């Protein structure tokens, strides 16, 4: 068992814990950042001095700590016999590309490399990326040559790394910390080339450097504009979206904004999410031939069932029933759960039913994806939507939480308004807009009855879905919502 202590704070009396980056039970690797501290002048990370499992954490965000205080306890991995190990370095996630070409090999066998040092430059269809070494060590082999084609997971190189023996009680020194980053580790506030002050911890800097993100362009969401890993993730997603819509030209008919003619006005900087989602939505709107099919479902019985659950103390939002109904109807209409190939010649039908839910946040619109909707109960879905919407609004979402969707639902039902035209969340091919239900008089059995009517707006990609198919989908959805018992999606809750 190793006890990790707060290292030498470089003369400062104390520092505040601003981030705890790990949890009890988590496996960590040597040198992984565990905690971020903020002193008077700088931010620093406390790294793991050995690989192992976290067994206890002795501090919390907001605590003030000083050099030598207990930080956390680590059950170290069994002692290694050899002091060095050979690790394989493989091609990382290529962001969805099938493969990439090696255009530069920057190292040779026998080279001593630093962690994060670029090894190879790859070129894909849309971007060039450098593959950095995840370890410091000496290269034993370097596989590819310039011109070779590689895919995610292919072996690029092998490297021998030094292993550190776990010690019983470890107080990392500043010198040790300086090795961890291979660049300055205690020095969070740096002057960036654009003259904008960047306020981020070393691990966030490494993360940004790995993905080639310029931190001067990232808006920090933490106190004093400090950039978190989630801010970088959001920027990456936005950059991908921007790249996807990058071919889009501004319509020539759009008149140039003449500021001098605006009269008195206030200038508000749009959040990064808003700026990038604006470009992404423009791309979707201009590249996809949208058709919006509107209808309304009589959900009087469904609402009665929802209220009966509520009376039993189970609160389920109408959105959850929509997700279940959509999932059921998607099974019978697989084209709505697909993506079109770039050249428009193939349709990729998705096996799982993963539904994106548009969430309105103070920084703009984000779409977390709820996976395997058919496998989850109403309560499980409700809990997941509430949790992820809260996370989207407070901490932000990881790229993983926004990937893998096959169909999106945009619900404005909690706000108001009638039918609208939702924009397809490319590369998906359809999206359902839900509006606020109204009580409408319906002529039935020789009398007018008050019925609860839910406006539905289905936008679909006309290259993939014909009008008849669109009408069948929304008709099946309406039938499903009108007869929830027969639709059987309310059985498992």
Q: How far is the CB of 376 from ligand CAO (least distance, A)?
A: 15
**Shortest Å distance, C-beta 382 to ligand CAO:** 8
Which ranges in 65-195 belong to alpha helices (H)? 174-181
Q: What CA–CA distance (Å, rounded) separates 416 from 436?
A: 5
State in angstroms the smallest separation of the CB of 168 from ligand CAO: 49
Both tokens of 198, joined, read 């960047």
Q: DSSP string spanning 443-470? A: EETTEEEEEEEEEEEEEEETTT--HHHH
Residue 471: which residues within 8 A CB-CB, separation 6 or more?
Answer: 293
333 given a catalytic annotation: no
Candidates 290, 333, 419, 462; catalytic one: 462
Rounded Cα distance between 392 and 389, Å, is 5
Q: Which is nearer to ligand CAO, 318 or 427 (CB)?
A: 318
| Strands (DSSP E) found in 68-187 | 70-76, 84-90, 100-105, 112-113, 118-123, 128-132, 137-142, 149-150, 155-162, 169-170
Q: Which is nearer to ligand CAO, 172 or 433 (CB)?
A: 433
Sign of the C-alpha dihedral computed for residues 43, 49, 50 and 55 taken in this order: negative
Q: Which is nearer to ligand CAO, 100 or 423 (CB)?
A: 423
Per DSSP, the three-state class of 182 is coil
Closest to ligand CAO by CB, 171 or 365: 365
- Using CB under 6 A, list all residues that contact ligand CAO: 317-319, 357-360, 365, 389, 410-414, 434, 436-437, 454
CB-facing half-sphere around the CA of 59: CA atoms within 13 A: 28
**Nearer Cβ to ligand CAO (393/472):** 393
- Side-chain half-sphere of 8: how many Cα atoms within 13 Å? 9
Using CB positions, name the residue nearest to ligand CAO: 413
Q: How far is the CB of 359 from ligand CAO (least distance, A)?
A: 4
Q: Which CB, 239 or 424, lies closer to ligand CAO?
A: 424
Supply the minimum distance, in Å, between the C-beta of residue 362 and ligand CAO.
11
Q: What DSSP element (H or E) covers 238?
A: helix 229-244
Spell out the long-range contacts of 397-402 with Cβ–Cβ below 8 A and sequence spacing 24 or more: 397/230, 397/233, 397/234, 397/366, 397/368, 398/230, 398/233, 399/233, 399/236, 399/237, 401/368, 401/369, 402/237, 402/356, 402/366, 402/367, 402/368, 402/369
Structure tokens at 140: 């034993």
Structure tokens at 12: 């400062």
Least Å distance, CB 290 to ligand CAO, is 13
How far apart are CB 63 and ligand CAO at their closest, in Å?
33
Report the residue number, 6 or 454, with the smaller CB distance to ligand CAO.
Answer: 454
Q: Annotated catalytic sites, by residue?
A: 462
């Amino acid at each position: 068992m190793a006890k990790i202590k707060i290292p030498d704070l470089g003369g400062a009396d104390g520092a505040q814990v601003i981030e705890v980056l790990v949890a009890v039970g988590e496996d960590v690797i040597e040198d992984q950042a565990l905690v971020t501290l903020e002193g008077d002048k700088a931010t620093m990370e406390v790294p793991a001095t050995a690989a192992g499992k976290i067994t206890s954490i002795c501090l919390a965000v907001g605590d003030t700590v000083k050099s030598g205080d207990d930080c956390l306890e680590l059950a170290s991995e069994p002692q290694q016999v050899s002091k060095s190990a050979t690790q394989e370095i493989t091609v990382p996630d290529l962001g969805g590309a099938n493969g990439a070409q090696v255009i530069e090999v920057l190292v040779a066998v026998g080279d001593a490399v630093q962690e994060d040092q670029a090894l190879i430059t790859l070129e894909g269809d849309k971007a060039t990326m450098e593959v950095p070494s995840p370890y410091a060590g000496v290269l034993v082999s370097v596989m590819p040559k310039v011109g070779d084609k590689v895919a995610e997971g292919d072996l690029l190189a092998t490297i021998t790394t030094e292993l550190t023996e776990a010690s019983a009680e470890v107080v990392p020194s500043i010198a040790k910390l300086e090795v961890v980053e291979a660049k300055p580790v205690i020095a969070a506030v740096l002057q960036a080339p654009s003259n904008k002050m960047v306020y981020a911890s070393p691990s966030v800097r490494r993360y940004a450097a790995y993905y080639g993100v310029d931190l001067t362009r990232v808006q920090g969401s933490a106190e004093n504009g400090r950039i978190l890993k989630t801010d970088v993730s959001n920027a990456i997603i936005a950059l991908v979206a921007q790249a996807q819509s990058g071919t889009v030209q501004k319509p020539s008919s759009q008149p140039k904004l003449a500021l001098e003619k605006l009269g008195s006005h206030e200038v508000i900087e749009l959040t990064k999410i808003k700026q990038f989602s604006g470009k992404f939505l423009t791309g979707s709107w201009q590249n996809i031939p949208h058709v919006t099919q509107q209808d309304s479902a009589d959900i009087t019985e469904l609402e009665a069932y929802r209220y009966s659950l509520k009376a039993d103390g189970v609160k389920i939002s109408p959105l959850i029933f929509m997700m279940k109904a959509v999932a059921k109807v998607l099974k019978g209409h697989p084209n709505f759960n697909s993506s079109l190939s770039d050249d428009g010649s193939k349709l990729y039908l998705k096996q799982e039913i993963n539904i994106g839910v548009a969430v309105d946040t103070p920084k703009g619109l984000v779409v977390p994806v709820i996976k395997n909707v058919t496998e989850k109960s109403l309560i499980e879905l409700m809990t997941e939507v509430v949790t992820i919407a809260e996370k989207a609004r407070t901490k932000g979402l990881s790229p993983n939480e926004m990937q893998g969707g096959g169909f999106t639902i945009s619900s404005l039902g909690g706000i108001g308004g009638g039918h609208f035209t939702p924009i397809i969340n490319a590369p998906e091919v359809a999206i359902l807009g839900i509006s606020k239900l109204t009580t409408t008089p319906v002529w039935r059995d020789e009398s007018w009855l008050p019925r609860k009517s839910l406006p539905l707006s289905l936008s679909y990609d006309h290259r993939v879905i014909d009008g008849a198919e669109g009408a069948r989908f929304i008709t099946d959805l309406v039938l499903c919502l009108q007869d929830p018992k027969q639709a059987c999606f309310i059985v498992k809750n």
